[in-house]
Chain A
């Protein structure tokens, strides 16, 4: 007689003591339910619910893992929870800032004439009227937009040649000389100059050279250049460095001069990266407030001459509208204008960032056939 042997399924020793695959989902569901219950007792709000649930989830998963899998795996689970949690925490302010600006800024932006009028002649009386009698909010950011564009453009015109030439010196001529190393070091140090110190430098320079109290768009452009040059140098340097040496050697072998090689071979190859680096640098300085505050003053009228007179800009417009509302007794119209301007500024910066990525992709050197 043959007895039928039924195979005894033993769990492998290797997979013993492992949490089932679905464990995190079960714990998450439980944590959300218990969290909601706790919050219902002490007063519900979404933010608190998220925090309490996250803590419960971490405690539950780590506890279960410690019971089944032992201390080492539990520590691993704890670290994973903390790392993922810190990423989620970092997203909170980003979402909150963008949401706040959108909600508060849209009414201002949709105001007719917001982009096409200046603040010239807009006094507290208008704002009082709009609050008390429901008249539309007057005044706009045309002058500030114009000022921002002019100041940033002038800063770009100053920074790009200086920054690009410095990068060329570092990559093509420097050859690890002490001067090149000193420039690299101080460019790095320069990226860390507080923006307000750059503004004070430009102000102090023009006070000493032109005369005390000189405040124009050009002074602000010089201040922004101090902040912009190191960024341009760093990004252009990286881009020039990755141009293959074969290209340079091929040009030299054909008897081309070094400067023509740089102008006709090296820079065209790297131009997409350089252009996107410059765009990112513009995006960085366009939102700078402090240097413009101490160098260009505030203006409420349209000033199209960068070399004379005070000039408004978007960041300083936001700052003054919040800190010194046009009508101190009714600050709401001012804050509406400030948030509208903030929305415009964020859109500008995001467009520049997007533009940098597009430039990098479109003008990237064609490789292969």
Chain B
């Protein structure tokens, strides 16, 4: 009798184990399925736009002619964001990891993380209502004094709602991402390397240049790549800040458009082939960001294996 009850209870426990591990496995596979599904459903819904005759696509010259100006616009906005954000973010990360007083450092890190907590639509509203207005005199100055450069060609936009403003707002949004990742890497620098440099008489900056930055370089690169992924896909800041238009070289005139903003502005009212066109645009964005992110993750994982930190 006792043996039966023992085997029975064991049987129940084994079933519990099976069910539980099965559920965990299924959840893991579901994630892979979702990512695969994202690609699949985007492709399926985008096909009508890709095979449609060119004159039916918006602009009348086919999907490629429709997509390439906004791809370029997306890249321009993201590059502006990175050019501004990267030096500042590395400076902030160094400040928190090596310059700020120990007791303050984590609190200051939390303050920077607050930047990441603010919703993107609020950044968009801030950029459109405050930054664009405040910065337009600077654009006038640029147009008057640097106008010989194609990117600062006048006349400057009177409202300040230009791709440069959008890029600045994007820079603010990617700053906390680059900062937090670089900070983690800087904190992992082997203490012995730092102390050896200082013991040899290096100043703090020389120590950072010789020990911290070489160690952190792959981390910085991947942090910048992740920031790039975020900047490429960010929607609201651009949709609210930029008064969009045709592709132009000048950064201080209204014009240009990004993929994400194009989708957000047109999707709610779209129907028929227009929906397919926008989903196809989303697919292009997905492929670009996926590539950028995969390269970034690959650099991180490759770095993990031979880093002497652990």
Q: Which residues of A contact B (CB under 8 A)?
A: 72-73, 75-76, 78-80, 82-87, 89-91, 93-94, 96-97, 100-101, 104, 161-166, 168-170, 172-174, 179-180, 182-183, 185-198, 200-201, 203-205, 207-208, 212-213, 226, 229-230, 233, 257-260, 262-263, 283, 286-290, 293-294, 297-298, 315, 318-319, 322-323, 335, 338-339, 342, 345-346, 349-350, 353
Contact = CB atoms under 8 A, between A and B. Distances in A.
Nearest to B108: A87
A226 B27 contact: no
B263 to A, nearest CB: 6
A301 B155 CA distance: 44
Those 6 A-B pairs whose CB atoms lie nearest each other, nearest first: A194-B233, A287-B119, A86-B91, A165-B27, A192-B293, A259-B20
B122 interface: yes
A14 to B, nearest CB: 11
B309 interface: no
28 contacts: A75-B205, A76-B206, A86-B89, A86-B91, A90-B112, A90-B179, A93-B172, A94-B118, A96-B131, A100-B129, A166-B27, A169-B27, A169-B28, A186-B35, A189-B293, A193-B286, A196-B235, A197-B233, A204-B42, A204-B279, A226-B34, A259-B21, A287-B121, A288-B119, A293-B267, A294-B268, A315-B236, A345-B119
A197 B25 contact: no
Interface centre among B204, B235, B239, B285, by most chain A C-beta atoms within 10 angstroms, is B235
Interface string B209-244: 000000000000000001001101111100110000
B92 A86 contact: yes
Contacts of B293: 188-189, 191-192
Contacts of B123: 97
Nearest to B115: A94
Nearest to A233: B31
A73 B204 CA distance: 9
Contact of A315 (B25, B90, B119): B119
B64 interface: no
B188 interface: no
A290 B260 contact: yes
B38 A197 contact: yes
Contacts of A195: 120, 233, 235
Contact of B235 (A104, A208, A289): A289
Secondary structure call for the B interface: helix
A297 B268 contact: yes
A94 B24 CA distance: 40
A96 B282 contact: no
Nearest to B228: A192
A363 B267 CA distance: 44
B127 to A, nearest CB: 9
B30 interface: yes
Contacts of B229: 192, 194
Given A287-B121, A293-B264, A294-B264, A322 B205 contact: no
B116 to A, nearest CB: 8
B294 interface: yes
A172 B107 CA distance: 34
A257 B17 contact: yes
A85 B257 CA distance: 32
Interface in B43-99: 44-45, 87-92, 94-96, 99
B91 A350 contact: no
A183 B28 CA distance: 7
A185 B131 CA distance: 38
B126 A200 contact: no
Given A96-B130, A188-B293, 13 more contacts: A169-B24, A188-B297, A193-B233, A193-B289, A194-B260, A194-B289, A200-B42, A200-B278, A201-B42, A287-B121, A290-B260, A338-B125, A342-B125
B185 to A, nearest CB: 16
B208 interface: yes
A90 B13 CA distance: 55
Contacts of B289: 192-194, 197
Contacts of A163: 27
Contact of A72 (B41, B206, B275, B278): B206
B4 to A, nearest CB: 18
Contacts of A179: 28-29
A164 B130 CA distance: 41
A48 to B, nearest CB: 11
B122 A97 contact: yes
A287 B122 contact: yes
Contacts of A197: 38, 42, 233, 282, 285-286, 289
Given A76-B204, A169-B28, A90 B268 contact: no
B200 interface: no
A33 B239 CA distance: 42
A86 B95 contact: yes
B285 A194 contact: yes
A289 B263 CA distance: 12
B128 interface: yes
B203 interface: yes
A229 B34 contact: yes
Nearest to B266: A294
B88 A345 contact: no
Contacts of B17: 257-259
A260 B16 contact: yes
A78 to B, nearest CB: 8
B35 A319 contact: no
Interface in B1-24: 13-14, 16-17, 19-21, 23-24
A76 B203 CA distance: 6
Contacts of A185: 297, 301
A160 B90 CA distance: 34
Nearest to B294: A189
A12 B127 CA distance: 56
B120 A172 contact: no
B37 interface: yes
Contacts of B196: none
